[in-house]
Amino acid sequence: MYTLLTELLGYIIKWNEEYDFVLSDVLEYNNWVIYNIYDIIFFLYFLYVYWLSINSKSIRNFIRIAGIVVIIASLINLFTSDFRIRFQMITYFTGAFMLIICIVLYFRHLRSKNGSWFIQTNLLSWLSIGILIFLAGYIPIIVLGHFNIVSGEDYQIIRRIHLMLILIMNGCFIVGFIRVSRKSIN
């Protein structure tokens, strides 16, 4: 729900002058601040979910350290790039990298515990697949955009790939919610 609300707010800010989120004329129509906040919350939330879901002490310690590293990266990024008008690349890459590692550790934990790395009736398995696919595809898009490697028609192709990654991730989330067993919720 938070993702949906963030996307709606970002759309409203971008396309409607009357709903300018930032009070400065210089920052008019800029919605980076809500996405930068979203990224921090997203990464820390899912690190916490994995911390709760894995009972291995060493993995839980790693996840705790990963959360601290994401917070430190966020603080460093505040001094290297304006949080209100620039994408927080250090925060995003650090969070994405830590989350990918946690997803891999989660799948290894599932395999050692259940004999399979993926359980079709396990919501976190589906969420993990969706997030992993999205991050694996979106990180190169960020790099291409940051170094201005794409433009014109190439940008439109990259934009379609980005939207496709969002659909795949959300599709995995939906399938996970549909297939989740009631037993795993309790």
What is the pLDDT averaged over residues 137-142?
A: 93
Is it the case that residue 1 has pLDDT exceeding 60?
yes
Is residue 74 located within the same domain as residue 151?
no
- Give 15's DSSP letter: H
Euclidean distance between CA atoms 8 and 22, whole angstroms? 16
Look at the alpha carbons of 16, 19, 24, 30 in this order and tell me if their dihedral is positive or negative. Answer: negative
pTM: 0.85
pLDDT at 30: 66
Q: Of 89, 49, 43, 88, which is closest to residue 68 (Cα–Cα)?
A: 43
Per the structure block, which two tokens stand in for 66?
A: 């990963």
Is it the case that residue 180 has pLDDT exceeding 90?
no
Is residue 105 located within the same domain as residue 61?
yes
pLDDT at 18: 61
Burial environment of residue 70 by CB neighbours within 10 A (0 to 12, 13 to 18, 19 or more): buried
Is residue 91 located within the same domain as residue 138?
no
Number of domains in the chain: 2
What is the pLDDT averaged over residues 122-144?
A: 94
Query: What is the tens place of the pLDDT at every residue in 159-177?
Result: 899 999 999 999 999 999 9
* pLDDT confidence band for 15 (50 / 70 / 90): low
CB atoms within 10 A of CB 80: 11
Is it the case that residue 29 has pLDDT exceeding 60?
no
Is residue 93 located within the same domain as residue 24?
yes
- The parent domain of residue 158 ranges over 118-186
- Pairwise pLDDT comparison (180 vs 71), residue with the higher score: 71
Euclidean distance between CA atoms 78 and 88, whole angstroms? 8
13-22, 99-108, 157-166: lowest mean pLDDT where? 13-22
* pLDDT confidence band for 95 (50 / 70 / 90): very high
